[in-house]
Structure 1
Amino acid sequence: MTENPFFAPSALPYHLPPFAEIREEHYAPAFERGMAEQLAEVEAIAGSDQPPTFDNTVAALERSGRLLDRVSAVFFNQASSDTNPTVQEIQKDVTPKLTKHSDAIHLDRRLFARIRAIPADGLDAEERRLLDRYVTDFVRAGAELEPADQERLKVLNEELSTLSTRFEQNLLAAMNAAAIVVDDVAELDGLSEDAVKAAAESARSRGLDGKYVLTLVLPTGQPAMEELADRALRERIHRASTERGLAENSELVLRIAKLRAERAALLGYANHAEYVVADQTAPGTRAVTEMLAKLTPAAVANAHREAEDLREEAGFAIEAWDWSFYAEKVRATRYAIDSRQMRPYFELDRVLRDGVFHAAGKLYGLQFTERPDLSGYHPDVRVFEVAEEDGSPLGLFLGDFYARPSKRGGAWMNSLVKQSALEGVKPVVVNNLNIVKPPAGEPTLMTWEQVNTMFHEFGHALHGLFSDVRFPRFSGTSVPRDFVEYPSQVNEMWATWPEILANYARHFETGEPMPQDLVDRMLESGKFNQGYATVEYLAATLLDWAWHTLTEEPVDAQEFERRALREAGVDLPLVPPRYRSTYFAHIWAGGYSAGYYSYIWSEVLDADTVEWFKESGGLTRENGDTFRRELLSKGGSVDAMTAFRAFRGRDPRIEPLLERRGLL
């Protein structure tokens, strides 16, 4: 297939993948050739009769596999953002092959011996770090195991990759099947007008004209439940949400947890959590366990106090599906505010341009130009060129903001092209959200949570765009899992920064700014319901931790989950985990296994950094340049906590986080 667009680097600006030319039949041949090419490149390195040097071994490995990188970036982005049965079949076929391919490289004893033999003398700091990372990567991949153990490891890795793909695809199907169909608009009483129109559009897109469809978001809590007055409908939504994947994924999670435990033991670790944390910024599993234990009692106590307020407001013993509805009523009473008041001031394009982009311009001097001449991978995707203050090119940013049945739930950032001085390429990054698309011609009005998510994901995008490293291995967000959320959480602070908020929070019809008293009440309510928010997060985190610190093999996923939550002290019937086991995509299919703690771990750094920004003058170019230089540009080229200390001048303090969460 000589015209396969993956076979040569893209000729488009910034090497943007040529999406207009890419067809599904291009993927399999590109994967096959890409793996074959890299194996040939690796064989030339491993079989060389030249003494091993940094350039002919480690740098050569960094240069290898370019075709495989190109097709992988595009394919797995589509598998998450716009899948279909053909893509899913390719994914099932290629995922275990890629696992075998990785094992073939990392378990090559000749190659590992060459890496181990490279002298560090004469290497610069980034080269020494890359050499050290390669040794660590190979050891963690099993390079030092005996041959029989390596063979068993290959079997485990292949099955785990297959099971993770099945989990992801099962969950997408379960989420689409669980969407709530409503026949009578009267049942939607309380839902905002734009949300009702969006539900009608969702129904129409499914061939259900005249009906209304409420699609599910990935977390347990569903946004519509804040507004829906119909208690029976709220219960329907809650049960649909919490029962996702029970039939399809219960046995899968048992099997995945078992295999991960066996793999960890094979590699010399007590459990999978110990294996994961050994390569993170946390000093060990005990430190993670102690932090979670420190946060849990105060958060649970706060949630119990909040529940009493809700019971008083409702006048009866509430259930889990009542919490968000009555929380909004208490919020309205306490702060004279509700979510419907705010939505008209959060129109998507204005939030993006006058909020997210404006903040990046003020802080970092960035300029954004939409490029309709460049195609994304779906008609909804928008492409923006990003330039420095002086006009010099930085990279491309793609925004994919709308939900669709072919897209997995949640929000995330992907890199389509990773910055690397070695390869002479600039970054191309994409943000995915899941906002329900309104009918054509109607404005997209966002919830406050969606606004915050847009700022959060753009923090990841900045981490990718500002990458200034030599080697692809260190590019952008290639940092420890419990550090990667830190820059994105910091970027959330600008959503409420007065100058930025005033610039984007304007009524979609009149252009009038959000009234100051409404702004004040919105900000004042920021700590409201934090007990619930913290407990639902901690419950998911502790559930992840329980699955990956197994002392015995569970036989029933639901019973294991109930026992784990009870033993951790977070089995609150009114506050279910943010994710239950059978739809916890982060840990079974998303790279966060034994790592969901990273959000709160990173938030310690984030809250401390927000304090620094405020103490240092806030939204200034000097502050932005400092944060960019010391942290965002470094990627994985320096130790993560060393970079933090260089920026902050000391170790992080936990008190700002406790204050933010109302846990002091």
Structure 2
Amino acid sequence: MKKIIATLLMSIPIITAEAQENQNPLLKNWTGNYGGVPAFNEYKITDLKPAIKIAIQEKLDEYNKIANNPKPATFENTIVAMEKAGKKLSQAKAVFDIYSSNLNTPEFEPIEVEVTPLFSELNSKIYQNKKLFDRIETIYNSKDKSKLTPEQQRLVWYHYANFVREGAKASAESKAKIAKINQELASLFTKFSQNQLADESNYYLELKTEADFEGLPTELKNAAIAEAKERNLEVMGCIANTRSSIEPFLTFSSRRDLREKAFDIFVKRGDNNNSSNNNAILVQILKLRAQKAKLLGFKTFADWSLSNTMAQNPLKAMDLMLSVWQPAVAKVHEDVAQMQKFVEVEGGKFKIAPWDYRYYAEKVRKAKYDVDANQIKPYLQLEKLREGMFWVAGEVFNLNFKQVNNVPVFHQDVRVWEVSRKDSGKKVGLFYFDPYARKGKRSGAWMTAYREQSRIDGDVLTLVSNNCNFIKGNDNEPILISWDDASTLFHEFGHALHGLCSDVTYPSLSGTNTPRDYVEFPSQILERWLSTPEVLNKFALHYQTKEPMPMSLVKRIEDAATFNEGFSTVETISSALVDMKLHLLENPEIDPRDFERATLFDLKMPSEIVMRHRIPQFGHIFSGDDYAAGYYGYLWADVISADATEAFTESKGGLYDKEVSKRLLDNVFSIGNTIDPEIAYKKYRGKAAKSDALMRARNFPIAK
């Protein structure tokens, strides 16, 4: 019997790693037009884990081969070889990240938990490879480095600085501890994100009677009805627990009791008494970050985090935030006083609360500027505004967008455009657009590069996407969005253009791979084009009459442009200040609720506003390290953006001035991280940016 079994076992073909690789579609090179595209129509969720494990080992083998090269270290056999390594992992991880952000199902969650730490483990092995670092350091210190091009010298500096920052010079004992911390953090980041998504999915506001819809515009009412049907709820409507659903409800609902309920479920994401509570997790993250910073020779995690940014240290970032904080708070108090008068006129006996702010701000806006959000919204059709942003890209950056239907997509909602230069017709990449909310998709809006532009293996086109969470209404009805949502649409498209305009040689320096407090500048400046008459006249068309937005309304929108800037500034900077103060703690043994309450009290936070991101739901800083101690970057970049905009407004052609547009393209959008951002910006502007421009843009007083 044993012999029979042994014979049978011998007859079963052994599936080698090579065979697995050949069978797994995620490990196949991207094929087709545009230098190859992801074959989304072939991938299965079960392919993810085995593909990534194989691709990780392949990248590690490639790096070990570079490190153990017996020939002397050169730019080509070390730095360029590193740039070319890990292609299969880059492709597989791009798909993995799409699942994580857009298709996060219960089936995917355990895969994400198991796989995410593997990326961290790989990075530790690479950054702690002494032989590899020795080769990089040799090139960095070589006299021959001066013979390299400026971009090549920047790339050598980039890799050397990253290795040092990640502990390449640390002791063997410290390296082992850092590697362990990085793996623990990766697992905690995943758990934090999954908890936040769970609360966004599992909590919602039911609308049970016609009275519950009071004040809601037709499209918001229809969206709520559709959401209830989607969830199979036996109620008339449902408000999902995402920003794109909650904020419009808080703006328009005349039911104060329901506004409070909606506000409550939104601000308590990650802070409910359930299995998705994030408080213990985030404290663990803070402790591990503090330990890691000390092992790397820094006093705090904030000091480490800002060491490779434009700000360079927490003090400079804090100084900027606090210089804007007081004028913003003063403006909020002025605005609240006006809102309180409306409460009194209506016979209300309550003080403005956070769930009242948006509702009464709209009343003040309408009375003061004759601008009603409901009056504007019929002109803001999602698809027409998408056409508008494509038009802006053509006018300012010389790009043309042509929709294509022969490229696989990961969901039926996703559409794709081929992007090329208007003058030469040269293709520069693909733009994927995924605009709608759905279950398993994280809230908010973002840009992703599935592949970076480069020229080290021929002319590699970039593949970029914009992902949003706009609410679908009834079939065959246009999707109308708010002015704030339209600004977000243009903002994320600014990130996409940063990738599409990239014209560099090496992928590590391509597109949006710039310092964190600079990367938001291109996206923020693009928001400025939304309010131009050229865009509003052409693309802000009434969804029923097809007439363009009247110039009288355009003028009123311009007059009201800085209205409510106090609110948006306080909401954002409070989050940034709390983020920085959390990461300046050397011993973060805290109760997050108490810390948040005490910090905001010390800042004299207006009671009518909450942080844009409360600590237990602050995904920017607790679902990864990218924005940890870095949320201030939005304000830092907005200083640059406001100053950069004045280069246009001071010119003859305004925001469509061809000469200024070319300078912006040549010195910002096309160069990635090939030049120090401060130098690049001065080449564009002729001077360094000053915060005075931001104060003017927000109509805040400028300190003398």
TM-score class, shorter-chain normalisation, is: over 0.9
Q: What does the per-residue CA deviation read over 1:460-501, in whole Å, with 9 as the maximum and x for residues that have no partner?
A: 000000111111111110000000000000101110111112
Give the 5 Å matches for 1:18-57.
18-57=39-78
Aligned partner of 1:141 among 153, 166, 169: 166
Q: Secondary structure at the match of 1:85?
A: coil
Work out the CA distance in 2 between the residues paired with 1:508 and 1:19. 34
CA apart distance, 1:597: 0.3
Secondary structure, aligned partner of 1:432: strand
Deviation sequence 1:272-308 (CA, Å, 0-9, x none): 1111111000142111111112111111111111111
1:348 matched to which residue of 2?
A: 382
Deviations 1:390-433 (A, max 9, x none): 32211100111111121101110000111110133111100011
8 Å contact kept, 2:647–2:660: no
Give distance in 2, aligned partners of 1:407 and 1:186.
30
1:165 to 190, 202, 226: 190
Does residue 198 of structure 1 match 2:223?
A: yes
What does 1:239-318 correspond to in 2, within 5 Å?
Answer: 239-247=264-272, 248-315=277-344, 316=349, 317-318=351-352
Q: TM-score, normalised by structure 2?
A: 0.92
Q: Which amino acid aligns with 1:124?
A: T
Report the CA distance between 1:220 and its aligned residue: 11
Contact 2:579 2:621 in 1 (8 A): yes
Secondary structure of the structure 1 residue equivalent to 2:116: helix
Residue 628 of structure 1 is matched in structure 2 by 665
Q: Is the counterpart of residue 470 in structure 1 residue 505 in structure 2?
A: yes
Task: Choose from 375, 381, 384 the match for 2:414.
Answer: 381
8 Å contact from structure 2 (residues 299, 586) kept in 1: no
TM-aligned CA deviation for residue 32 of structure 1 = 1.3
C-alpha distance in 1 between matches for 2:215 and 2:413: 29
How many angstroms does 1:209 deviate by?
Answer: 5.1
Q: Is the 1:220–1:580 Cα contact (8 Å) retained in structure 2?
A: no
**Structure-2 change in CA distance of 1:423 and 1:211 (3 Å):** farther
**Contact 1:402/1:434, CA 8 A, preserved across alignment:** yes
1:130-529 equivalences in 2 (<5 Å)? 130-208=155-233, 210-218=235-243, 222-247=247-272, 248-315=277-344, 316=349, 317-353=351-387, 355-389=388-422, 390-424=424-458, 425-529=460-564
Supply the AA of the counterpart residue of 1:385. E
- In structure 1, C-alpha distance between the alignment counterparts of 2:246 and 2:304, rounded to whole Å: 31
Q: Supply the distance in 1 between the matched residues of 2:228 and 2:657 (Cα, whole angstroms).
A: 46
- Larger-gyration structure (1/2): 2
Q: What's the C-alpha RMSD, in Å, of the aligned pairs? A: 1.4
Q: Structure 2: which amino acid aligns with 1:232?
A: D
CA contact (8 A) 1:106 1:112 kept: yes
State the alpha-carbon separation in 2 of the partners of residues 153 and 49 from structure 1.
29
Counterpart-to-counterpart distance in 2, 1:396 and 1:52? 36
Task: Quote the offset at 1:243 in angstroms.
Answer: 1.0
Corresponding residue SS for 1:13: coil
1:434-465: per-residue Cα shift (whole Å, max 9, x none)? 11111222210111111111111000000000
Alignment match, 2:694:
657
- Match among 77, 101, 106 for residue 80 of structure 1: 101
Once the two structures are superposed, what CA deviation does each residue of 1:546-595 show, in whole Å capped at 9, x if it has no partner? 1111143333110011112122332x221111110011111111521100
- Deviation digits for residues 367-400 of structure 1, max 9, x if unmatched? 1111122222111111011111132211100111
How many pairs does the alignment contain? 662
Residue 361 of structure 1 contacts residue 367 of structure 1 at CA under 8 Å; is this kept in 2? yes
Q: Distance in 2 between matches of 1:199 and 1:12?
A: 41
Separation of aligned partners in 2, 1:283 and 1:174: 36
* Matched-pair contact (CA < 8 Å) for 2:511–2:673: yes
Does 2:679 correspond to 1:646? no
Q: Is contact 2:524-2:641 (8 Å) kept?
A: yes
Per the TM alignment, residue 615 of structure 1 is displaced from its structure 2 partner at its CA by 1.6
Question: How far is the alpha carbon of 1:221 from its aligned partner?
Answer: 6.8
Determine helix, strand or coil for the equivalent of 1:6: helix
Instruction: Give me the whole-angstrom Cα distance separating, in 1, the residues matched to 2:360 and 2:161.
Output: 51
Q: Is the 8 A contact 2:290 2:587 kept in 1?
A: no
- Deviation above 6 Å: which 4+ runs of structure 1? none
> C-alpha distance in 2, partners of 1:249/1:96?
19
Measured at CA, do residues 12 and 179 of structure 1 come closer, stay the same or move farther in structure 2, by a change above 3 Å? Answer: farther
Query: Deviation string for 1:153-193 (max 9, x for gaps)?
Result: 11111111110110011000111122212111321111001
CA distance in 2, matches of 1:210, 1:574: 31
Distance in 1 separating the partners of 2:32 and 2:106: 29
- SS of the equivalent of 1:239 reads helix
Cα deviations across residues 324-363 of structure 1 (Å, max 9, x unaligned)? 111111111111221111111011111101x101111111
Q: Percent identity?
A: 35
The answer to whether the 8 Å contact 1:220/1:578 transfers is: no
| Contact residue 80 and residue 407 of structure 1 kept, 8 A | yes
What SS class does the counterpart of residue 657 from structure 1 fall into?
A: helix
How far apart are the structure 2 equivalents of 1:331 and 1:115?
58
Asked whether the 8 Å contact 1:220–1:579 carries over to 2, the reply is no
SS at match of 1:190: coil
Partner of 1:10: 30
**Structure 2 CA distance for partners of 1:630 and 1:136, relative to 1, 3 Å:** same
Does the C-alpha gap of structure 1 residues 562 and 221 become closer, same or farther in structure 2, counting only changes over 3 Å? farther
Answer whether contact 2:244 2:471 (CA < 8 A) is retained: no
Q: CA deviation at 1:614?
A: 1.5
**Does the 8 A contact of 2:310 with 2:517 survive in 1?**
yes
Q: Name the SS for the 1:320 alignment partner.
A: coil
For residue 244 of structure 1, give the secondary structure of its aligned residue in structure 2: coil
Structure 1 letter corresponding to 2:257: A
Which residue in the other structure is 2:628 paired with?
Answer: 593
Q: 1:621, CA displacement in angstroms? A: 3.5
Contact 2:493–2:523 (Cα < 8 Å) also in 1: yes
Question: Contact (CA 8 Å) 1:16, 1:417: kept in 2 or not?
Answer: no
- Worse overlay, 167-176 or 8-17: 8-17
Please give the secondary structure, in 1, of the residue aligned with 2:434: strand
Residue of structure 2 in register with 1:563 after alignment: 598
Quote how far apart the aligned CAs of 1:13 are: 2.0
Return the alpha-carbon distance in structure 1 between the equivalents of residues 179 and 604 of structure 2.
Answer: 38
Deviation at 1:3, TM superposition (A): 3.2
Q: Secondary structure at the match of 1:368?
A: strand
Q: Secondary structure at the match of 1:428?
A: strand
8 A Cα contact 1:468 1:633, kept in partner: yes
Letter in 1 for 2:180: V
Amino acid at match of 1:272: F
> Which residue does the alignment assign to 1:614?
649
Work out the CA distance in 2 between the residues paired with 1:392 and 1:443: 33
* 1:4 shift after superposition: 2.1
Query: Deviation of residue 218 (structure 1)?
Result: 4.1
- Which residue is 2:8 aligned to? none
- What is the TM-score of this pair, normalised by structure 1? 0.98
Partner of 1:535: 570
Matched-pair contact (CA < 8 Å) for 2:419–2:428: yes
